[in-house]
Structure 1
Amino acid sequence: MPLSRRSFHRLAALSAAAGAGALAAPRAALAANTAYVFAYFTETPNMSGANYGLHLAVSTDGLNWAPLNQNNPVVTPTAGTLGLRDPFVFRKQDGTFVVLATDLNGTDFGQNNQYLHVWDSTNLTSFTGYRRVRMHTLNTHTWAPTAFWDAARGQYGIVYSANNGTDVFMVNYTSDFRTVSANQVYFSPGFPVLDGDVVVDGSTFYLYYKNLTTGLLYGARSSTGAANSYTTYTGGLRQGDAMEAPLLVRNNEGNGWRLWGDSFSPVNNDFYAWSQSNVGANSWTALNQRDYTPPLNAKHGSIAGISAAEYSALVSRWGLPNWVRLKSSNLPDRYVRHANNLGRIDAYPFDPHQDQLWRMVAGLADSSGVSFESVNYPGRFLRHLNYEIRLDANDNTATFRADATFTRVAGLADGAWSSFRSYNVPDRYLRHLNYALRIDPVTDATARADATFRVTS
C-alpha cells in the first residue's frame, strides 16, 4: 500500500455520479436502471495485487459486488504512463458511456501530468476511441476526474484535482469529451481539497470532497453548478483512520442515497459506506460492514446505474468470478483464509490476497454437500482434523473426503447467510473461535454468529 497521499501531494480518488443522477430529459427514454457497475483499479498492502488497468464489477443491490473478468482489467491504456488510477464511468445524454481516468501508472505521485485517459463505450462490453485529452498547461497533476451534465450550458463539466499553489478543483467544459474549454478553478474554499464528486439532483448540484486539512469528507451544494458557487452543508465524515475519495450514489429505486469513502490505510477495509434518504440533509448513517462487500482489492472507483439488459451483457461478455469468499457475520471485516496451512479469519486487506479465494465445489464425500478448494494451492482443501480446520492436500482417502465435506444450510444467526455443518461429525459446524477455524457444537447465540458466513465474491 502506498504512503499517505498527503506525503505525495495527496493522491486523488475517483468518484462517481451514478450516471442516473446526472441525466436530464433523454434519461426517460432509457431503460430503467435495476443494477450497478463499479469501475476501479486494484492494490493490496504489499502491492502484489496492484493492477492499473480498468476493472469492472457488477451488483444488483449496489452493496455487494461481483468482479468481472476474474478481477482482471477489461481495458488498459496504450499511451501516456500506460496505467490508470481513479476511473470514472459516466452515462452521457445519449445513453452511452464515457470513461475518464487519471493518467498515472503506480504510486509515483510526484510526477505531474496534464492529461486524462478517455474511452467511449456503448454498454461497457467494449471500449473504443481511446485518447488522452489535455486538460491544462500547468505544471501540476490531473487527478480523480468526475463529470456532470450542465443543462444550462448544454455541456458536460469535467472536474479534477490540481494544484495552483494550493490543492483545488479545476473544471473544463466539453460537448464531446474530445475537445475541452480552457481550465478554470471550480472549487477553492480557502483550504486544500481533494477528490471531488459532482452529482446533479433535479436543480441542485452536489459536490462531495475531502478537506485535506481535517482529513474528513464533506458535502457542498449549489443551485447553479457554476464555479465557486458551492456552500458546504454537511459535517465532516470519516470511518476508520484514513479516508478519501467520496463517492455519491443515488439508489436505483429512487428512495435514498449512499456515500462511499475509500480508505488508503493498509490495515483498514478499502471502502466504507453511509446512507440517508435525503441527499440534501446532513444525516448520513454509517452502514454496518455486514451490509456491503466492495470488489476485491478495489481502489478509488466510481459507480453508475445500469439496466437489466446492460447487466446481462456485462456478465455475458466478461464473466462472473469462478471463486468465492466467506465473510464472517459477526466480524464482517474478516474473511476465511488459510495461513500456515491452518484455517482462520483475518481482517481484509491482507497478502497474499489469494489466500481468501476458494473454489466451492461439490462435496468430495457427497455431491449434495460442498468442499472448499484453495485457489492458490489447487488440490488442497479445507478439512477438519481433531476439530481444527486445516488446508491439506487431498489424499483421496475416504476419511479425507469426509473431513473436507460440509452441508450448506441457512445461516444459524441469519437465514440469508450460510452455515456449514460437518458431513461426518454432523453435530458440529464450521465456526471461528479466537479467529481460528474449527468445527464445534453450536449451543448459544455467540456460537451461532461465529458459525454464520456470507458466500460472496
Structure 2
Amino acid sequence: MSTSKPLARLGALLAFACLIFASWSVAAPKPAAALDPFTGYLMVHFIGEGATGQQMYLSHSTDGLNWTDLNNGGMVLRSPIGTKGVRDPALVRSPDGSRYWIIATDLCIDCGQTWGDAINNGSRNLVVWESTDLVSWSAPWLLNVAGAIPEGRNAWAPEAIWNAATGDYVLYWATNGALNGVQKHRIYSARTTNFRSITTPQVYINRPGTQEIIDTQIVELPSGVGNHRYVRASGDGQITLEGSNSILGTWTTLGNLSGIGLTGAQVEGPMWTKFNNRNEWALYLDQYAAGRGYLPVLTANPSSPGVFRLPASGTYNLGATRKRHGSILNLTAAETTRVFAKWGPSAPRPRLQSYNFQDRYVRHANLDVRIDANVSPVQDSQFRLVPGLANNSGYVSIESVNFPGYYLRHTGFDFSLAPNDGTASYAADATFRQVAGLADAGWTSFQSYNHPDRYIRHYGFVLRLDPITNAVGRGDATFRLTS
C-alpha cells in the first residue's frame, strides 16, 4: 500500500496542531513573573441595594485591617449593560502583573429586579472589565457562563484563580441549575485565558441533597503552611473550609467556623487576604444578616478551622461605606501610586467654568450636558481629564466623577454623558485636544478630534460641538479648569 497519502495526512495534522498551539500560545497569559513587594491592599466591593449601591467601589488599606474609601466614597465603575447593576466582584491580576480584570455578578436588586426574579430568571451573564494599569478600564462586556447549564437560571458571585498546572484561569461561580432532578444553586467552573470565552461549564461544588452553595473563594498557601496548597471557604449553611493540592482535583472537608459562632445564617461572601509582612491571613465575611458589612476573621493557618479567631475590638475599621461581598488585591507601591493618583484623597476633580457666564459650570443632568449655576450635587459638575480614548497623545477625554465610565460625547454635534461602548466611533466622539482658550489664552478650549474645525461650546446654556466664527462663539467655547 502506498505511504504517500498517510504521510501527507500526518504532515497536515502536524501543521494543524502547530497552528492550534501557536494560536493558544498567543492568547494565553505570559508565565508568572516576580512582582515588586506588596505594600498595601485594594478592595473592590459594592455597598448596598439600588442602582447606585450595586456598582463598583474601591477601598485601600495599608495594614489589611483598616480601610479608607477611595474616590471620596463614590463609585469607580458603573455598569451600563445587562441589568445595569453589579455585585460580588472578583479582582484578578495576571501572573506577570501586566493585566487586570474585574468580574462581577450582573444583578440589580430593587432597580427592576426582585430576589425572586434573580433566583429563577436572572442574568446568565457576568460583567467583565479589563485594564493594563488598574486605573483605566475598558468598556465592560457580558460573558455568558450559564446559558449552557441545564435549567441554568442565573450566574452569581464569580471568582477566578490562575492555575499553573493548565496555564489558564479557573473561573467559578454559582448557578441555580438542574442536576439529577434537583434544582438548586451549585458552583460551576470553566477555564479561560481572557474572560471573553470559556470552556464548557462543569459542576465544581455540589452539596448533598437540597443544600445550596452560592459563595466560595480559594486562597493559595505558601509551602510549609498547613497540609494543602489551596483552601476554599464556602457559604453552604456553614462557612465550610476545604483543602486540596490541585484546584481542579479532589477537595477534603476540613471543618467550619461554627466554633467561633459564625455560620451561613450570620455571614456570607468569604473574601481572603494574606497580610503582606507575615504568614497570617484574614478571611473577611459579610455580616449580611445584621446588615453590618465585613468582619475579618484571623488565622495563621487557613487549613485549620480550630485556629481561626475573631479580632480584638478596635483593631479593624472598614471605613465610611458598608463593604459588601468583594475581593482584595495585594498592591505594589507602583500600583498604589497609580490608584491614588486617580482616586486618592488629593486626586484632582476639576470643574469646567464658563468664561462668559462665570457663575456657571459644565454639568450633566439626566445624561444631558449644559452649564448651570449652583450645581447640586456638586459631583454632577466634576470630571476627570483622562488620556484620549481615540488618541492618548496630546488628546483628552472628559469622564464624569460620579458616573465613572461615562464621558462627554457628541452625537449629531449635540452632547450627552454617555457610557463608553468600546467602539471606535464612540472613542472619536469623546476625544478632544486642549488648546489655549479662544477668548482668553489663559483659559482652555476643547477642539474635537474627529471634527477639528469644531469646538465644545454652550448655546442657550446647552453644550454643542460647533465651528467658531465670531467673538460670541469664542466666549461660549472657552472654559477654565477649576477645583
Common fold by TM > 0.5: yes
| Larger strand fraction of residues | 1
Change over 3 Å in CA distance of 1:183–1:49 after alignment to 2: closer
How many residues were matched structurally?
A: 291
- Paired position in structure 1 for 2:295: 272
Aligned to 1:246, which of 270, 277, 287?
270
* 1:247 Cα deviation from its structure 2 partner: 1.1
Distance 1:131 1:24, change over 3 A: closer
Equivalent residues in 2 for 1:5-84, closer than 5 Å:
26-28=32-34, 30-43=35-48, 51-84=53-86
Kept after mapping to 1: 8 A contact 2:51/2:85 = no
8 Å CA contact 1:87–1:99 kept in 2: the answer is yes
Identity across the alignment (%): 26
Does 2:115 correspond to 1:109? yes
| Contact map agreement 1:136 1:182 (CA 8 A) in 2 | no
Shift of 1:48: 8.0
Query: Letter of the aligned partner of 2:242 in structure 1?
Result: A
Q: CA deviation at 1:72?
A: 1.0
Q: How far apart in 2 are the matches of 1:114 and 1:36?
A: 31
Superposed CA RMSD in Å reads: 2.3
Alignment of 1:8-407 (within 5 A): 26-28=32-34, 30-43=35-48, 51-95=53-97, 96-107=99-110, 108-110=114-116, 111=118, 112-137=122-147, 138=149, 139-164=152-177, 165-190=183-208, 191-202=211-222, 204-212=229-237, 216-226=238-248, 229-237=250-258, 238-239=261-262, 242-265=266-289, 267-282=290-305, 283-295=307-319, 296-320=321-345
Give the AA of the match of 2:328.
I
Unaligned runs of 5+ residues in structure 1 are 1-22, 323-457
The answer as to whether partners of 1:71 and 1:321 remain within 8 angstroms in 2 is no
Q: Say which structure is richer in helix.
A: 2
CA distance in 2, matches of 1:75, 1:48: 15
Could you tell me how far apart the structure 2 residues matched to 1:106 and 1:225 are? Answer: 32
Check conservation: 1:148, 1:200, Cα contact below 8 A. Answer: no
Contact 1:239 1:272 in 2 (8 A): no
Distance in 2 of aligned mates of 1:48 and 1:102: 14
- SS of equivalent to 1:312: helix
Deviations 1:118-146 (A, max 9, x none): 01122321211521111121432111111
Unaligned runs of 5+ in 2: 1-28, 178-182, 223-227, 348-483
The amino acid across from 2:37 in the alignment is A
Aligned partners of 1:217, 1:160: CA distance in 2, in Å?
17
Superimposed CA distance per residue, residues 157-202 of structure 1 (whole angstroms, 9 cap, x where no aligned partner): 1111112222210001101111101111001131321201022225
SS at match of 1:234: strand
Q: 1:397 — aligned with what?
A: none
Aligned AA (2:38): N
User: Are the counterparts in 1 of residues 50 and 108 from structure 2 also a CA contact under 8 Å?
Assistant: no
Q: CA deviation at 1:269?
A: 2.5
Distance 2:173 2:206 in 1: 12
State the distance in 2 between where 1:258 and 1:293 align: 13
After superposition, what is the alpha-carbon deviation per residue over 1:214-263, rounded to whole angstroms, capped at 9, x for unaligned?
xx212111121116x21220233444962111112111124211111001
The DSSP-based 3-state class of the residue aligned with 2:314 is helix
Alpha-carbon distance, 1:25 to partner: 6.4
Change (3 A) 1:50 1:298: farther
Q: With a CA cutoff of 8 Å and minimum separation of 6, indicate the structure with the bigger relative contact order.
A: 1
Deviations 1:38-72 (A, max 9, x none): 001112xxx68952211001111011111111111
Q: Contact 2:146/2:154 (CA < 8 Å) preserved in 1?
A: no
Alpha carbons 1:255, 1:277 under 8 Å: kept: yes
Normalising by structure 1, we get a TM-score of 0.60
Question: Aligned equivalents of 2:311 and 2:51: distance in 1?
Answer: 27
Q: What TM-score does the superposition give when structure 2 sets the normalisation length?
A: 0.57
Q: Provide the residue aligned with 1:334 in structure 2.
A: none
CA pair 275-133 structure 1, distance change in 2 beyond 3 A? same
Judging changes above 3 Å, is the alpha-carbon distance between structure 1 residues 311 and 201 closer, same or farther for their aligned structure 2 residues?
same
- Pair 1:54–1:35, CA change in 2 (3 A): same
In 2: Cα distance, 1:39 partner to 1:249 partner: 12
For 2:308, give the aligned amino acid: W
Structure 1 residue 208: deviation in Å? 0.8
